[in-house]
Chains A and B, each alone.
Chain A
Amino acid sequence: MALRRKTAYEEWATRYRAGKRAPKESATTISGVPVEPLYTPEDLAGWSYDDKLGYPGEFPYTRGVYPSMYRGQLWTIRQFAGYGTAEETNHRYKFLLSQGQAGLSVAFDMPTLMGYDSDDPLSEGEVGHCGVAIDSLEDMETLFSGIRLDQITTSMTINSPAAILYAMYIAVGEKEGLALGALGGTLQNDILKEYIAQKEYIFPPEPSMRLVVDTIVFAARHMPRWNAVSISGYHIREAGSTAVQELAFTLADGMAYVEASIKAGLNVDEFAPRLSFFFDSHIDFFEEIAKFRAARRLWARIMRDKYGARDPKSWMLRFHTQTAGVSLTRQQVENNISRTAYEAMAAVLGGTNSLHTNSMDEVLALPTERAAQIALRTQQVLAHETGVTNTIDPLAGSFFMERLTDEMEQGAQQYFDRIDEQGGVLSCIENGFFQREIADAAFEFERKLEANERIVVGVNAYKEGEGADVPTLKIGPETERGQVARLKAVKARRDNTSVRNRLEELKVAARSSDNLMPPLLNCVKAYVSEGEIMGALKDVFGVYREPILF
């Protein structure tokens, strides 16, 4: 350090400690990462602009995947929505599209996510409650009725049965007269994080991975505008992980999909440009921005150097962000609007490609239309009023931001090594490594809150009692009754001989190593229900039970 600067720094440090009020001894991010009161050029010793950042749209993409970022095109405002019946959700979609939203994002109900039909005994009380109920192609036709599928892109948040819903979407497109290549969208289809965090697994890991790879191969060959998998850290974070764990486990999952797809015979550049990611934006502002920047840099290097990808599109980590559901509080529900706004700004300063902002009442129930509208408007205020879109990666070069970004990258690298030492992602799922790391972090988070080491407004500070009730969306029992009746009518109307034949063909294919997308397309077009298809696949693949630990 230059002598003059060293003297000045020491002088500052003395004055910092000598103030009337002793400064806080230490501070950490919400993930427990220590942060200093001040960062200086000394924190970036040896740091090189060309190596660490480069220009937007240029390797290693730390500053963003596109040269013009939001000057060229705003992020896609993509509000996740779905409730009740396909018809009700179709109305909500048309409303959202009329309000300026550019893409749809489908929330399915629990029976659909878990592969049960609405008339299954296990579906009782769940139909249409936390998303829309889809049993057969008929529901999917209703869901997108009057919406031109080539004019929008659609994201479908579904995992174990993802290939079935994908087949249904393709079938709806075909009925609209659209070629496969005209359909654009994303399947979540990230089964690894289900075992790790969200727990909506059905089959054991290996056949599950085969289904994911089948969709990746199908999309790579036929649907250039389709992202077959959205590799998701969101659920890992919401389950209680730290920011570094979210980053590391997500990219480790990404590498597992890359390796499985290469093993299935694809060239890395055939599918890697269509891999997409999904992260959480939590309440610790700078840590989140650093996480997004580190994610892009890590992935670019992994794809180029580890997997030998040549196409720059394979190096680019494109991602969707959702603000943190777990940061919302039941107490003083309106405060959630401001939490969500800060989290949304972090996502944008981190260069997100699309964004969902949570509604204030999601801590209580599915959002009301009013709450969903405020959440949408929060993004529009951010996009059009705050000026954050004017300058690309505006925090670049900040001593603090660059140091945090480097630390995030190093922390992830250490986890990659630990995962490799244990034999890779599948081994770490089976031995409970991820689950234990997350459970420990979640418990530590609660402990800090409990000890008042962390303040959450309205929860352990600035309390106001229970406060006023907010109106919540109610899903009545008539939704379930109606859905069950519709499914019954579909089953009575369709050609049931054809149904049996299609299911037999599917089982034969499942026992072979053939791609399952063609037989799945044949099943959905014959109006075989989701539950029937999943039942046939369970016969072949079996079901998974997780190790119980807490």
Chain B
Amino acid sequence: MAPAETSPRSQAPMNQNKRWRVLTAKVGLDGHDRGVKVVSRALRDAGVEVIYAGLRQTPEMVVEAAIQEDVDAIGVSLHSGAHMTLIPRILELLKERDASDIVIFGGGIIPQDDATELKRMGVVEIFGPGSSLQSIIDFVNHGFKAA
């Protein structure tokens, strides 16, 4: 883990000119990577530094990579139905690692009730099917503020 005093995340002012760093990942066992790839490319084209971790990342792998890469946020994509197990685990691990300042947002096949519950737990936003790319870019560029 990078020492806190050299972390640009903790030093950078929260303004719109900041070049945000986002880790995107497919969590869980499914391989539906169309959405995460399109979002990753759109964010990159919009000037965000994107690190795509790839498929079948465990919560442990995601949190480790997020801390190593010193990202501002983690975007997770799930289509397998395991979101109520795996996303809370990521939140928990971030807390354990004293890295709860890393924002979590997500997308995929996530029913509304579950999205509401995940937001209550600390996920900042869930972008379901039909979300516009611009809404996701705006979300990142505005400092990860929920709509």
> A446, B80: Cβ atoms under 8 Å?
no
> B82, A439: Cβ atoms under 8 Å?
no
- Which chain B residue lies CB-closest to A440? B41
Which among B29, B34, B44 is the interface contact of A239 at CB below 8 angstroms? B34
Q: How many residues of B contact A (CB 8 A)?
A: 38
- State whether A114 and B29 are in contact (beta carbons under 8 Å apart), knowing that A364-B112, A450-B134, A550-B41 are contacts in the complex: yes
- State whether A110 and B82 are in contact (beta carbons under 8 Å apart), knowing that A330-B130, A365-B111 are contacts in the complex: yes
Whether A328 sits at the interface, judged by CB under 8 Å, is yes
Q: Mark A190-232, 1 if CB is under 8 A from B, else 0.
A: 0000100011100000000000000000000000000000000
Most buried by B among A122, A126, A363, A458: A126
In the complex, chain A residues whose CB is within 8 Å of the CB of B111: 364-365, 472
> A439, B37: Cβ atoms under 8 Å?
yes
> B84, A199: Cβ atoms under 8 Å?
no
- State whether A129 and B133 are in contact (beta carbons under 8 Å apart), knowing that A122-B58, A200-B31, A443-B38 are contacts in the complex: no
CA distance A110 to B36 in the complex (A): 18
> B80, A124: Cβ atoms under 8 Å?
no
How many contacts between A and B, using CB within 8 angstroms?
A: 109
CA distance A328 to B37 in the complex (A): 19
Majority secondary structure, A binding face: loop
In the complex, chain B residues whose CB is within 8 Å of the CB of A442: 34, 37-38
A544 to chain B, nearest CB (A): 11
Whether B54 sits at the interface, judged by CB under 8 Å, is yes
CA distance A459 to B112 in the complex (A): 17
Whether A460 sits at the interface, judged by CB under 8 Å, is yes
Size category, A interface: 35 or more
In the complex, chain A residues whose CB is within 8 Å of the CB of B132: 449-450, 459-460
In the complex, chain B residues whose CB is within 8 Å of the CB of A239: 32-34
> A125, B82: Cβ atoms under 8 Å?
yes
Whether B17 sits at the interface, judged by CB under 8 Å, is no
In the complex, chain A residues whose CB is within 8 Å of the CB of B112: 364, 469
Whether A425 sits at the interface, judged by CB under 8 Å, is no
> B34, A130: Cβ atoms under 8 Å?
no
- State whether A459 and B52 are in contact (beta carbons under 8 Å apart), knowing that A122-B29, A124-B85, A125-B84 are contacts in the complex: no
In the complex, chain A residues whose CB is within 8 Å of the CB of B38: 240, 439, 442-443, 446
- State whether A446 and B42 are in contact (beta carbons under 8 Å apart), knowing that A113-B29, A238-B34, A460-B132 are contacts in the complex: yes
A130 to chain B, nearest CB (A): 5
In chain A, positions 392-437 with a C-beta closer than 8 Å to chain B are none
> A129, B81: Cβ atoms under 8 Å?
yes
> B130, A459: Cβ atoms under 8 Å?
yes
A residues near B, CB below 8 A?
A: 110-111, 113-114, 116, 122-126, 129-130, 194, 198-200, 238-240, 326, 328-331, 363-366, 439, 442-443, 446, 449-450, 456, 458-460, 469, 472, 475, 546, 548, 550
B residues near A, CB below 8 A?
A: 28-34, 36-38, 40-42, 44, 50, 52, 54-56, 58, 79-86, 109, 111-113, 128-130, 132-134
**14 chain-A/chain-B pairs, Cβ below 8 angstroms:** A110-B30, A122-B58, A126-B82, A129-B80, A239-B34, A240-B34, A364-B112, A365-B111, A442-B37, A442-B38, A446-B133, A460-B132, A550-B37, A550-B52
